[in-house]
Amino acid sequence: MRLLIVGTLGGQLTIASKIAMDKGASVTHADSIDQALAVLRSGRGADLLMVDVAIDIRELVDKLELERIHVPIVACGITNDARAAVRAIHAGAKEYIPLPPDPDLIAAVLAAVTHDNRDMIYRDEAMAAVVKLAQQVAGSEASVLITGESGTGKEVLARFVHSRSQRAKKPFISVNCAAIPENLLESELFGHEKGAFTGALARRIGKFEEANGGTLLLDEISEMDVRLQAKLLRAIQERVIDRVGGGKPVPVDIRIIATSNRNLAEAVRAGQFREDLMFRLNVVNLKIPPLRERPADIPELATYFIKKYSDANNLPVRPLSDEARRALNHTRWPGNVRELENTLHRAVILSTGAEIGVDGILSPDGARLDSSHGTNVAEQAAMTAEQVTRNLVGRTVAEVERDLILETLRHCLGNRTHAANILGISIRTLRNKLNEYSADGQPIPPPHGGEMKGAA
């Protein structure tokens, strides 16, 4: 756990940093925004920023976004000033902590960051076999390729492997190859020198160097451009990288874990992925089955998510009713664990009785998940086909495509990767379509739900 504390607050943050170090965190201090950016550019990185509320948090957030640095921020202040707390949250902070620091509160914040997305919750034998293999290979230095549908928990398994490896006390750095525009991904991975391109305001250490000694997760590796794959292959084979605009190779010591929701062998045959890189990455393959093929995991995960979101929203932990449990078990879950999590999050918030009933288990469009079980399947299919036909008549192909993409994105609560997987298109194609619709003034669902906005 790497904590970067920004500001002084008359020594109160020093006390907070001591508490954090006692909890096992590695702590770095910066007095200003510029010093904080210098630390983050240098490759030392951070898993959490704890920032003096007197510092302009909006400016900090904007500068981090400009340089594509993604790290959660917690604001700290020496009073219980509600207005200061609200301003900090609106500016982009995830939480506000009053000082002097409460050791239990600091510990809770660190634990939330440290353990987020790292719990392996399973009961089904199909998933148990995958976890057993992951435990076997964790202690080796072999590259690992984790495959499975979108939302099955590939990054969770990657963190599990890292936490049980000899590199567990070193950084775990994740890069989503699908989420970063093609022309910026090279700089994100390998870093750049000042002036290497327009916008390169200072030397920036890339993810390879930031992960030195630890593990680098290349999420959705199949979306990486073929030309960049050649540079990645060299980095893996020779354990050296070249910064963009740099003149000297930089040695790195990392373990590579990659994930993909596509079949890489098919991508190789289609000329979209290098075969030699696939062999380098796929020393060990951990294939996560979809949730519909591991039914025993559904009640286990449901219990976990209900407690998680009940605690997060200060609500009592309510059990699922028998009818609600059956509805969960009879659903196909095309979005897998991510979709189940979103469903239970809504259910926790919407339910009001002593139990979470089936009426609280809603799909994103408000329909009950079990609504198809009382209707003849053939009749339902016929009615759906008739309705679809009526809706299509008189409309252009472009209009139908637009509505399909946006409706799918809304169904996925704004998750681009999940939506692209359902639509059968690449994340890059989806992003281009959303930019096109945004330019036409069409409201675009933002990532992870929230208010509609006019940008992708």
CA torsion sign for 228, 182, 197, 37 is: negative
Cβ atoms 260, 145 nearer than 8 A: yes
Record the tokens describing residue 403, joined without a space: 């509505």
Domains of the chain, first to last: 2-115 (3.40.50.2300), 126-289 (3.40.50.300), 292-360 (1.10.8.60), 379-439 (1.10.10.60)
Q: What is the mean pLDDT of each run of 10 residues along the chain (456 residues)?
A: 79 72 80 89 82 89 82 81 79 81 72 60 92 94 94 93 91 88 86 79 86 94 91 93 88 95 90 93 95 94 90 86 91 91 89 86 61 43 46 70 84 79 83 87 71 45
Q: What's residue 119's pLDDT?
A: 64
Task: For residue 218, report the phi and psi dihedrals to the nearest 5 degrees.
Answer: -100, 95
Q: What's residue 280's pLDDT?
A: 94
Cβ atoms 257, 215 nearer than 8 A: yes
Separation CA 435–CA 431 (nearest Å): 6
Residue length, the chain?
Answer: 456
Separation CA 329–CA 358 (nearest Å): 12
- Count of CB atoms situated within 10 Å of the CB of 365: 8
Strand 215-219's sheet: what is its strand order? 172-176, 215-219, 255-260, 144-147, 284-287
Taking only the tens place, the pLDDT of each residue in 366-392 is 566 654 443 444 444 444 444 444 455
The torsion angle over the Cα atoms of residues 436, 437, 438 and 440, rounded to 10 degrees, is: 90
Q: What's residue 291's pLDDT?
A: 95
| DSSP β-ladder status, 144-147 and 284-287 | parallel
Taking only the tens place, the pLDDT of each residue in 416-453 is 887 887 787 888 888 889 988 888 888 888 775 444 44
Using alpha carbons, list the distances in angstroms from residue 250 to 10, 121, 162, 184, 244: 40, 39, 23, 19, 12
Q: Could you tell me which residues come within 8 angstroms of residue 161 by beta carbon, excluding any fewer than 6 positions away?
A: 134, 137, 138, 144, 215, 257, 286
- Count of CB atoms situated within 10 Å of the CB of 42: 15
Angle between the N-to-C axes of helices 397-411 and 427-439, in degrees from 0 to 180, rounded to the nearest 10: 110
DSSP secondary structure code for residue 281 in this structure? H
β-pair partners for 144: 257, 284
Q: What's residue 379's pLDDT?
A: 45
Task: Give the distance, in angstroms, between the CA of residue 268 and the centroid of all CA atoms in the same chain.
Answer: 26
Separation CA 417–CA 259 (nearest Å): 13
Q: Could you tell me which residues come within 8 angstroms of residue 448 by beta carbon, excluding any fewer than 6 positions away?
A: 413, 414, 415
Burial 322-339 (b: 16+ CB within 10 A, else e): eebbbbbeebebbbbbbb
